């Protein structure tokens, strides 16, 4: 790989990584961990490989269109966006920076994968308003498919929590 | 094996994968359409969100499976082609997803049967010899598990709720159970795909499904239905009378504006 190509791919990688998630614009695609690779394919075309968070996520076509725009802006109007299903995305791929941004935005970041869902009073995810763990699920799904809504029994506020998958 | 014969074997396998993906994709697509009807009708706004989010997951599953089907059978039809350009007899979904909505308990009974089946199926299918099916199933299994939890919790809540919720939940189970057996039907296609590790003969999942569902029903203090008959026909394109109106509604925009984009 020539130095010019390497620096071109690095530049594209930085640009596509900085694309905001359409549904949760506080975090970027790099924060979410959905960006798999930016490479030159065997046919010479520059390809961005991304993994969908949820197969039914309505943001996927928007992400694809955004990535095409960035590719065109970087001088690759014929660049390719490929969705790779395998390995399946997991919330473990969300970066520390991504978790911090979610928390700052009032969305409780996902817990470890495989941990039981909060079902009992006093064992829930900490309330972002008062810190109490006396929280319980209000609805299994929230404003987006990847979130669930909890309510704090201490301060009575409800708050979104990103599901661990 | 001559190269011609090898080619013919590969062709059969690809057509088998296409047909299998079509069955699973149609199940998800048609159930998605049924669940969408709950938006603004569910008992609470949280439940509107839950059922529509589950429908959205199912739409993602259907699109992935239908695309895989169109690629595998050599026609290169897209997910939209398969969803909107087929007639009633060309759909391969089991009859369970197409049943009219009924009350909330019927919907939950159907979710209970379907999600326990897909949780088991996708977990096994994640080890499929076919990379397309395996990568789909690895992701979809995570969604199915969440959907299963949702259905199980509602079943327990309705079973242990009031006399009325318990009566309706039991009636919902009795209503959908004759259709659940069709999910586990075996035929030549599932036998061939099971032999070479591409798919899971659904009959192999039935015992585990029965145990899991019975566990939930016991916790809910409900009875496991013992249906006196079993529905069949969906896998060969023979559908219930509720299916044509469902499809007409589902395909209406496409039929009025063929090729329309926005």
Quick check: is B180 in a domain?
yes
CB B212 within 8 A of CB B116: yes
Per-residue confidence band for B2, with pLDDT thresholds at 50, 70 and 90: low
**Which is it for the CA torsion B100, B101, B105, B110, positive or negative?**
positive
Pick from A84-88, B6-10, B85-89, B209-213: least confident: B6-10
Contacts of A52 in chain B (CB under 8 A): 60, 139
Domains and CATH numbers, chain A: 3-89 (3.30.300.130), 104-162 (no CATH)
What average pLDDT does this structure show over B44-49? Answer: 86
Quick check: is B262 in a domain?
no
Per-residue pLDDT of A1-55, as tens digits, reads: 789 999 999 999 999 999 999 999 999 999 999 999 999 998 999 999 999 999 9
The shortest CB-CB distance from B59 to any of A56, A86, A140 is to A56
**Domain containing B103 — which CATH number?**
1.20.1260.10
The tokens describing B49, both together, are 């969100």
Per-residue confidence band for A121, with pLDDT thresholds at 50, 70 and 90: very low
Total domain count for chain B?
1
Helix (H) or strand (E) holding A68: helix A60-73
What average pLDDT does this structure show over A73-99? Answer: 95
Distance in angstroms between the alpha carbons of the first and the last residue of chain B: 50
Quick check: is B16 in a domain?
yes
Residue B51 has pLDDT above 60, yes or no: yes
Provide the pLDDT for residue A115.
66
Quick check: is B230 in a domain?
no
Look over chain B and give the mean of its residue pLDDT values, rounded to a whole number: 94
The shortest CB-CB distance from B49 to any of A88, A142, A163 is to A142
Helix (H) or strand (E) holding A46: strand A46-50
Per-residue pLDDT of B116-167, as tens digits, reads: 999 999 999 999 999 999 999 999 999 999 999 999 999 999 999 999 999 9
pTM above 0.80, yes or no: yes
Contacts of B136 in chain A (CB under 8 A): 55, 85
Domain encompassing residue B136: 9-223
Does the beta carbon of B127 lie under 8 angstroms from any beta carbon of chain A?
A: no
Note whether B138 contacts A55, CB cutoff 8 Å. Answer: no
Per-residue pLDDT of A128-144, as tens digits, reads: 889 888 888 887 788 78
Quick check: is B234 in a domain?
no
Quick check: is B128 in a domain?
yes
Provide the pLDDT for residue B217.
98
A&B contacts, CB < 8 Å: 70
Per-residue pLDDT of B169-228, as tens digits, reads: 999 999 999 999 999 999 999 999 999 999 999 999 999 999 999 999 999 999 999 999
Place of tokens 């994709």: B25
Residue A155 has pLDDT above 70, yes or no: yes
Per-residue confidence band for A164, with pLDDT thresholds at 50, 70 and 90: confident
Does the beta carbon of B131 lie under 8 angstroms from any beta carbon of chain A?
A: yes
What average pLDDT does this structure show over B59-72? Answer: 97
Mutate to test the interface with B, among A92, A113, A140, A148 (most CBs of B within 10 A): A140
Quick check: is B169 in a domain?
yes
Instruction: Report, in this order, helix, strand and coil percent for chain A, each rounded to 5.
Output: 25, 20, 50
DSSP secondary structure code for residue A42 in this structure: T
The C-alpha angle B184, A57, A112, rounded to 5 degrees, equals 85
Quick check: is B182 in a domain?
yes
Q: Which residue has the higher pLDDT, B157 or B259?
A: B157
State ipTM.
Answer: 0.82
Per-residue pLDDT of B235-247, as tens digits, reads: 999 999 999 999 9
Alpha helices in chain B (DSSP H): 3-36, 45-72, 79-84, 104-125, 131-159, 163-180, 188-195, 206-219, 243-256
Does the beta carbon of B160 lie under 8 angstroms from any beta carbon of chain A?
A: no
Provide the pLDDT for residue B128.
97
CA distance B76 to chain A (A): 17
CA distance B45 to chain A (A): 9
Provide the pLDDT for residue B260.
83
């Amino acid at each position: 790989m020539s130095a010019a190509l390497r620096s071109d791919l690095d530049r594209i990688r930085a640009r596509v990584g900085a694309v905001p998630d359409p549904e949760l614009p506080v975090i970027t695609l790099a924060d979410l961990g959905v960006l798999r690779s930016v490479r030159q394919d065997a046919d010479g075309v520059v390809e961005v490989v991304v993994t969908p968070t949820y197969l039914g996520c309505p943001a996927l076509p928007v992400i694809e269109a955004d990535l095409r725009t960035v590719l065109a802006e970087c001088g690759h109007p014929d660049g390719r966006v490929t969705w790779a299903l395998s390995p399946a995305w997991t919330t473990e791929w969300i970066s520390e920076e991504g978790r911090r941004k979610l928390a700052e935005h009032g969305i409780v970041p996902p817990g470890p994968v495989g941990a039981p869902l909060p079902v009992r009073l006093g064992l829930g995810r900490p309330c972002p308003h008062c810190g109490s763990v006396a929280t319980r699920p209000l609805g299994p799904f929230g404003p987006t498919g990847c979130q669930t809504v909890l309510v704090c029994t201490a301060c009575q506020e409800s708050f979104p929590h990103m599901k661990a998958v | 094996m001559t190269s011609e014969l090898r080619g013919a074997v590969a062709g059969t396998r690809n057509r088998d994968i296409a047909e299998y993906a079509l069955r699973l994709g149609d199940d998800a697509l048609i159930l998605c359409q049924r669940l969408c009807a709950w938006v603004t009708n569910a008992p609470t706004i949280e439940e509107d969100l839950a059922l529509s989010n589950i429908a959205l997951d199912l739409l993602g599953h259907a699109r992935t499976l239908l695309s895989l089907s169109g690629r595998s059978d050599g026609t290169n039809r897209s997910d939209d082609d398969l969803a909107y350009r087929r007639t009633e007899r060309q759909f391969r979904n089991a009859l369970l997803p197409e049943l009219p909505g009924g009350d909330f308990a019927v919907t939950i009974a159907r979710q209970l049967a379907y999600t326990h089946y897909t949780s088991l199926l996708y977990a096994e299918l994640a080890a499929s010899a076919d990379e397309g099916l395996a990568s789909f199933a690895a992701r979809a299994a995570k969604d199915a598990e969440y959907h299963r939890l949702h259905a199980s919790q509602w079943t327990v809540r309705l079973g242990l709720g009031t006399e009325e919720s318990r009566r309706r939940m039991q009636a919902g189970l009795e209503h959908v159970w004759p259709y659940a057996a069709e999910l586990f039907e075996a035929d030549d296609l599932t036998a061939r795909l099971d032999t070479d590790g591409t798919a899971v003969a659904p009959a192999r999942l039935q015992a585990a499904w029965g145990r899991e569902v019975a566990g939930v029903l016991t916790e809910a203090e409900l009875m496991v239905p013992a249906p006196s008959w079993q529905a069949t026909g969906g896998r060969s394109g023979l559908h219930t009378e509720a299916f044509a109106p469902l499809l007409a509604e589902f395909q209406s925009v496409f039929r009025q504006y063929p090729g329309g984009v926005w």
